[in-house]
Structure 1
Amino acid sequence: MKLSNQPFLLESATNDHACLLLHGLGGGVYEMQLLGEYLHQQGFTVKGINYPGHDQPGMKMPTSSWRQWYEHILENYQQLSRKYANVSAVGFSTGCPLALYLAAKKPIKNLVLLSPFVTLKHEWYYLVRPEVYLFSIGYLLSDLPRLQLPILDKTMLKAAQEALFFQTFNLAAVRSALDLIDRVKPLLPQIDEPTLIIQSLKDSVVDPEGARVIYQQIGSKHKKLYWLKKSDHIISLDVEREDVYVQIKTFLHTN
């Protein structure tokens, strides 16, 4: 299996429903590749993008901000909405608060949130909290080395390691993602699009309770929280990925 970190557009001639796929922080479109191919086989148009600061390989992850990411997402959303009557947003990790912010601002057919980033689980989270950054060692650091990707499937892990662009996390970008989350939380009650949330109990990156928080606070009357039991964080590539794909397909076809 070979994964690519290059953006893609797979168009359907038989369906007026497009899905915009939004990757995670420090990751890339390779995280969404197999899901995109599956959804295209099911008749959907799918577009996978890389955000600014995530779109070129390099020794270290560059500094970028959520506003830059969102502007790029908005541009691609507008391109799709001019051609397709229905546009759904499928976010993974940091792609989830970005998808939620988009849904709060623009018409979205459906929301799919995979391993939503609400609270980090890693201990290095404390290095990006503002009070630590300003008054301690966090001030001296611009990035941290990336540990092994959170994928338990060994074949997918190898393919993902070969596809990703960076071996570091940029701490300014992490702080920007945390700022986005703080801005999105108050918006949750006004977001009423049908929403599917899929979260693994074994996630080693984000606190799984974040998925429950979104489920409880989002304003949608049509919402579902689906729990996985075997996967790590990147559920779109991990051991239960087929279950993830079927859940998304069924949700998109019935809402």
Structure 2
Amino acid sequence: MVVAWGFEGMVSLVNLPFFYGHGAGDRACLLLHGLGGGAYELQLLGEVLYETGWTVQGILYPGHDRPRAQMPPSTWPQWYEAAVSAFEALRESYSTVAVVGFSTGGTLALHLARHYSIDALVLLAPFLRIYRPWFLPITPERLVQSLGQWIPWVPRRSLPLRDRTVRQAAEAACFFKSFNLQAVRSALDLIAQVEQELPMITTPTLILQSRADTIVAPQGAQRIYEDLGSPDKELHWLKDSDHLLPLDVEREQVFAKVVAFLGR
């Protein structure tokens, strides 16, 4: 197991797949990262879940699995295939399997829940809409769809984290300093499909979203909550974190709510 907290309270994050297994146990959790991100986004949460008795696995999707000068193109079916493969392997060995998805990982988790029997679902800042600054005359989705036909990638600004210490560690772990617009367009295609599937998803679901998110529109979490077909669903709002909820200033609240929900 990777130890997150080192000397003098510094955080060490590593963007590698992880598997923290218990020799005896019947419950496992699959952690799915965001678009252009990696396993480091969910590393701290994975360690907390392991400490509370869960076997946890964090994966890297195709197109996200090694550092590159620019983020390479990849598509949501490729990411989904990796998620399905990991989920099916866990289901063969554990009687209870939960899935935690962050950002685009949340969209993938919803699609997985539509087609597979998942015992519990956790969505952290799920990606349904791109955050739209007040000064942008058109939706970011339209901008991506138009620019994405001509521009392969755009530079990535500083990671959306208000915790400066953790942001420094995350910047060091992150593989890419750009976003591939083909991959973003593919994520939008996945969203269009998942929106139609929401009423048919009945998995118990916890949704956590910050109102201060600058990457995804917070209203997307409300839309998922309202349209989700599950009779067992919760939506909790945070107010001080940016997009990277599992790493940001309210991460302890995130950990506590996820542990409580999955441990019911």
What interval of TM-score do these two structures reach, taking the shorter chain for normalisation?
A: over 0.9
Match of 1:127 among 115, 137, 143: 143
How many residues are paired up?
Answer: 248
Aligned residue in 2 for 1:103: 113
Q: Deviations over 1:18-66 (max 9, x none)?
A: 1000000000000000000000000000000000000010100000000
| 1:9–1:48 Cα contact (<8 Å) kept | yes
Aligned AA (1:53): G
Aligned AA (1:98): L
After TM superposition, the runs of 4+ consecutive aligned structure 1 residues lying more than 2 A away are: 122-127
Instruction: Tell me, in whole angstroms, the C-alpha distance in 2 between the residues paired with 1:126 and 1:246.
Output: 37
Whether 2:153 is the aligned partner of 1:143: answer: yes
Q: CA deviation at 1:128?
A: 1.3
How is 1:1-255 mapped onto 2 (pairs within 5 angstroms)?
A: 1-122=11-132, 125-129=141-145, 132-133=146-147, 138-254=148-264
Instruction: Tell me, in whole angstroms, the C-alpha distance in 2 between the residues paired with 1:69 and 1:244.
Output: 25
Superposed CA RMSD: 1.0
Q: CA deviation at 1:125?
A: 4.1
Q: Normalised by the size of structure 2, how large is the TM-score?
A: 0.92
Q: Normalised by the size of structure 1, how large is the TM-score?
A: 0.95
Instruction: Tell me, in whole angstroms, the C-alpha distance in 2 between the residues paired with 1:85 and 1:29.
Output: 24
Aligned AA (2:155): P
Unaligned ranges ≥5, structure 2? 1-10
Aligned AA (1:181): I
| 1:3–1:163 Cα contact (<8 Å) kept | yes
| 1:14–1:43 Cα contact (<8 Å) kept | no
Corresponding residue SS for 2:253: helix
Instruction: Tell me, in whole angstroms, the C-alpha distance in 2 between the residues paired with 1:51 and 1:212.
Output: 27
- More displaced 10-residue stretch of structure 1: 32-41 or 115-124: 115-124
Percent identity reads 51
Aligned AA (1:76): A
